[in-house]
């Protein structure tokens, strides 16, 4: 159970931490007895490339581009590294993945609505967390609010409440689970932040998060605590500091590649 709690804590923190050509001038008409003076032909106009229109998944603080990767180092209660990547993306949805150096992986689906990015679409949305000896597959049953808003800026506030259920396999033992994750965030200002990947002018976001994990036959376990994240425009999350459920973590961007 503690492994699942740690994986879900990492999942929460990393979540909080998301585009003519012209014709030449015709020659003058000839005048009687006077040879026309030829005029130089105009240079052809180079066709202009159309400006790509932003899709529903366009978000200034979370570039949604298939093949984009961000590598982070994590220190605190559990030291590790992980790579966050956009596995696939369309105009209205995308799939992401976190692959940890310790062997844990997380995959999930997102929905996009006018620049609002919403993790774990209800109904068809699903995700999986795989750690040593533990496999947790779940489906979202209710989802309200947004994960990363389109209008994220100083003074903006948003929240998300997700209810999900499924089965966790612990050493071959199947356990039914029902869980809820609630997060409320406010963008409080801008400041310079330095991480291994460089120094960024970032938007500072403070959040309060609560995860309630209910396993059949056991008392609910609650992970609750604050986190602070820094987002750089055009880059994404560059740093997160958070705590909850006896865990503490500092996550910093080390490298990134955005197509």
What's residue 1's pLDDT?
34
- Cβ–Cβ contacts within 10 Å for residue 165, how many? 15
Tokens representing 244 are 């909850």
Q: Which residue(s) pair with 232 in the sheet? A: 202, 236
Q: State the chain's maximal CA–CA distance in angstroms.
A: 108
* Cα–Cα dist 188/23, whole Å: 55
Q: Reduce the DSSP state of residue 258 to 3 states and report it.
A: coil
pLDDT of residue 192: 99
Tell me the C-alpha distance between 212 and 247, whole Å: 15
pLDDT in tens, the chain (259 residues): 333 334 444 444 344 333 222 333 333 334 444 445 555 555 555 555 555 567 999 999 999 999 999 999 999 988 999 999 999 999 999 999 999 998 888 888 999 999 999 987 554 455 566 655 666 777 888 999 999 999 999 999 999 999 988 877 767 778 888 889 899 999 999 999 999 999 999 999 999 999 898 888 888 888 899 999 999 999 999 999 998 878 889 999 999 999 9
- Give residue 126's pLDDT: 57
**Strand-strand pairing, 126-131 and 134-145:** antiparallel
Residue 10 phi, psi (nearest 5): -65, -40
Cβ proximity of 181 and 154 under 8 Å:
no
The CATH number assigned to the domain with range 2-15+54-257 reads 2.40.360.20
Residue 201: predicted pLDDT: 98
Nearest to 162 by CA among 18, 59, 62, 15: 15
Domain boundaries, the chain: 2-15+54-257
Residue 55 CA to residue 93 CA, distance in Å, equals 10
Distance in angstroms (rounded) separating the CA atoms of residues 258 and 235: 8
Mode of pairing for the β-strands spanning 69-76 and 198-215 = unpaired
Report pLDDT digits (tens) over 174-187. 888 888 989 999 99
CB 202 within 8 A of CB 237: no
What is the model's pLDDT at position 252? 98
Asked whether the beta carbons of 65 and 86 are under 8 A apart, the reply is: yes
* pTM, rounded to two decimals: 0.75
Residues 244 and 209: their CA atoms lie apart, in Å, by: 8
**Residue 145 pLDDT:** 95
Q: What is the DSSP string of 81-136?
A: EEEEEEEEE-SSEEEEEEEETTS-EEEEEEEEETTEEEES-TTT-EEEEEETTEEE
Q: pLDDT at position 48, please?
A: 52
């Amino acid at each position: 159970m503690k492994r699942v709690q740690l994986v879900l804590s990492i999942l929460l923190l990393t979540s909080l931490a998301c585009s003519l050509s012209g014709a030449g001038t015709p020659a003058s008409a000839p005048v009687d007895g006077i040879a026309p003076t030829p005029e130089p032909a105009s240079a052809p106009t180079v066709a202009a490339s159309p400006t790509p229109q932003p899709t529903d998944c366009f978000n200034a603080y979370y570039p949604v581009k298939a093949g984009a990767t961000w590598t982070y180092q994590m220190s605190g209660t559990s030291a590790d590294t992980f790579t966050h990547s956009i596995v696939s993306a369309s105009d209205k949805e995308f799939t992401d993945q976190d692959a940890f150096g310790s062997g844990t992986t997380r995959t999930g689906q997102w929905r996009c609505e006018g620049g609002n990015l919403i993790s774990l679409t209800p109904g068809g949305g699903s995700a999986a967390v795989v750690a040593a000896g533990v496999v947790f597959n779940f489906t979202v049953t209710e989802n309200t609010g947004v994960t990363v808003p389109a209008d994220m800026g100083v003074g903006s506030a948003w929240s998300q409440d997700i209810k999900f259920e499924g089965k966790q396999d612990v050493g071959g033992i199947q356990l039914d689970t029902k869980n809820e994750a609630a997060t409320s965030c406010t963008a409080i200002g801008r400041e310079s932040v330095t991480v291994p990947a460089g120094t960024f002018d970032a938007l500072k976001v403070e959040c309060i998060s609560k995860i309630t994990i209910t396993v059949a036959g056991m008392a609910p376990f609650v992970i609750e605590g604050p986190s602070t994240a820094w987002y750089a425009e055009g880059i994404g999350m560059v740093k997160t500091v958070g705590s909850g459920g006896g865990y503490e973590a500092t996550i910093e961007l080390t490298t990134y590649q955005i197509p």
